A and B are shown apart, each in its own frame.
Chain A
Amino acid sequence: MKYWISINTYLWKNIFNRWLESPLAPLSKVILCFLLSLLSFIVIGLLKNAEEVLEEQFNKREVLTSVVAIQDMSRQDQIVKLDKSLYREALFQKISPDSELNYFRRAGIAVRDSQGKHYPTVVCFSEPTFWQEEWGEFERPKVYFFCDDTDAPLGDMEIRDFKFQPKRLPKVPLLSTLTKGKGVILVPYPLGRMLLESGFAEMVVFRFNDIETMKSTHKKLEAYCATENLNYSVFSALPLLKQLEMFSKMQTYVRSGLALLIIIITAIVLGNQSLLEFREQQYQFALLRSFGSPLPLIMLAELVEKVLLSFLGVWLAYMSLESVTMIVRGFGADFAMVDIKVGAEDVRLILMGVFSGVLSSWCLLVMIARKPVGLILS
């Protein structure tokens, strides 16, 4: 044990002596890893930031919501069409059981207020859940008037000759996507059924939990509407979501590319530098081997030295990331305006990349170092 400690002490003395003799050699290894890591951290950080901003924006716009407008253009009776529509509602619920579904039918008859203004009438058959969080349980028998201007005086309203006073509520975003006007009347079943018998258009609002369910439901819906010869249009952010997905994939490619780049550059530069250093040390190492010092022990010290120096570079890059961003920001660079956040997994990725590069360069050294002692000390 004492002997192994002595050998290791000598090897490390040799390493420190080498550092003192030519400080540029270890420094260049640290700087190489520092610059590579810093570049990677900045690129990864910016990409991550951009993805987060996009996701945030999408989430704000209820990106996982799809609105499907359907019109049955067949020459069937409106009552038959309504029955088919009710059957469709049940079917759609089965198509996408995990998603939240709101089925609306816009009646062909509008509601008129006391000033003669017309508002679209929407009949809701299914349980309307989208405002329950805000206003509690929906009171079925009541007629609701969703409008932007909640302070305006509310008079009697009428459909045909039927007069009523609806309960007024602020317009929810979901209804805004369905109707462009200032207000909309929401009539629950069965009150609204008679209105629909004189013609209607259907609108289904799906709220999905994830993009995969969204994609598969879209496919099923399109297939169903095509089979049933229905006129339909889908309004959703799916194309944008696909782009976001592509962006995420791109980020993965960029990360892998960066890691690969680090491995290659580190392996080539460190390999070349280590080779030159090793040639200078070769005789000394051969002398140690001639006493019986194991080659793995000698090579391990070389590996540890390189790993220490390169990890120091990565650590310095991580620590100085904020300062570097501040400096760049000082020069007015646009990209530095956002905070660059680097996660633990990114640090791990860079460390792995650097380590692989060091290991590759070290393997090259090991191959050379295996030369018989007798050929070196001749």
Chain B
Amino acid sequence: MKIELNKVSFRYPGMGDDLFHRFDFSAKPGITLLKGYSGCGKSTLLRLIAGYLKPWEGELLTSSPHRVGSNRYLMEEVGFVFQQMNLLPLASLNRNIKLSGVNSDAGRGIELMKLFGLEQIANHRPCDLSGGQIQRGAIARALAKGPSIVLLDEPTSGLDDLNTTIISNALTDLLPESSVCLIATHDQRLHDIADEILDFNKYLPLEEHLQSLA
């Protein structure tokens, strides 16, 4: 899988300046960590790649046969993990995995739940689970359909070392070689699994960041 952003500009509604202005980026297969200050655009980049947000200028190219942001693209290509509230509240963990996409393989789902230590609570609803279990469940759901683009937004924030290790191991073991995995994180514990670490601060220097926060 190949992802390329050509001269992409994006700004949130009501925002004066562009968050990305004629931004070029390309992602190679493997795990890439996106690091940087809060608000520098890490999560926005993930959302742009998933097609959840649309740039007002430039183009986003992938090697997927489906249009970026289309239902097929989201169902078949993208596995996204949000920072919080990842699971559908009325569905059990098992059901959440089944609902994540047409390719969701029941066998693979069970296997992933075993790997993430969730098989005992497969029929529990998110309200009965801890934060770590929810986050592991969300990652299991993202990986269950075998996506070629895995986008994780702060997947380990607030998780203990054990949970972080389980997630790290799962990512290294389960991701196919051809798939692109982008992780927006501040977590140093994930450095070990990264093929590449991209410092987003270079796009938004500290002075500008402080200015934008002010």
Residues of A within 8 A of B (CB): 3, 6-7, 10, 13-14, 17, 283-284, 287-294, 372-375, 377-378
Contacts and interface: CB of A to CB of B under 8 A. Distances in A.
Contact of A292 (B43, B47, B85, B101): B101
B52 A14 contact: no
Contacts of A13: 90-91
B13 interface: yes
Interface in B74-123: 74-76, 78, 80, 82, 85-86, 88-91, 95, 98-102
Interface string B14-56: 0000000000000000000000000000011001101011100
Given A10-B88, A10-B91, A291-B99, A374 B53 contact: yes
A102 B79 CA distance: 91
Given A3-B102, A7-B99, A287-B86, A292 B75 contact: yes
A291 B90 contact: no
Contacts of A378: 43, 47
B52 A377 contact: yes
A294 B91 CA distance: 18
A133 to B, nearest CB: 75
Contacts of A373: 47, 52
B88 A284 contact: yes
Q: How large is the interface on B (under 10, 10 to 19, 20 to 34, 35 or more residues)?
A: 20 to 34
A294 B88 CA distance: 16
A118 to B, nearest CB: 97
A291 B100 contact: yes
Interface of B: 12-13, 43-44, 47-48, 50, 52-54, 71-76, 78, 80, 82, 85-86, 88-91, 95, 98-102
Interface centre among A288, A289, A293, A374 (most CB of B within 10 A): A374
B196 to A, nearest CB: 24
Nearest 9 pairs of A and B residues by beta carbon: A374-B52, A292-B75, A292-B74, A374-B53, A374-B47, A373-B52, A292-B71, A3-B102, A291-B100
B82 A377 contact: yes
Given A10-B90, A375-B12, A290 B52 contact: yes
Chain A interface main SS type? helix
A10 B52 contact: no
A375 B52 CA distance: 8
Contacts of A287: 82, 85-86, 88
B11 to A, nearest CB: 12
A271 B101 CA distance: 31
Contacts of B80: 290
Contacts of A288: 88, 99
B50 A290 contact: yes
Nearest to A16: B90
A283 B85 contact: yes
Contacts of B50: 290, 374
Given A10-B99, A293-B99, A378-B43, 12 more contacts: A3-B101, A3-B102, A6-B95, A6-B98, A10-B90, A10-B95, A292-B102, A293-B71, A372-B52, A373-B47, A375-B53, A377-B82
A238 to B, nearest CB: 67
Given A3-B102, A13-B90, A14-B90, A292 B73 contact: yes
A261 to B, nearest CB: 37
Contacts of A292: 71-76, 78, 101-102
Interface centre among B50, B90, B101 (most CB of A within 10 A): B90
13 contacts: A3-B101, A10-B90, A283-B85, A287-B88, A291-B74, A292-B101, A294-B71, A372-B53, A373-B47, A374-B47, A375-B53, A377-B47, A378-B47
A375 B98 CA distance: 25
A211 to B, nearest CB: 60
Nearest to B145: A291
A293 B99 CA distance: 9
A291 B103 CA distance: 11
Contacts of A3: 99, 101-102
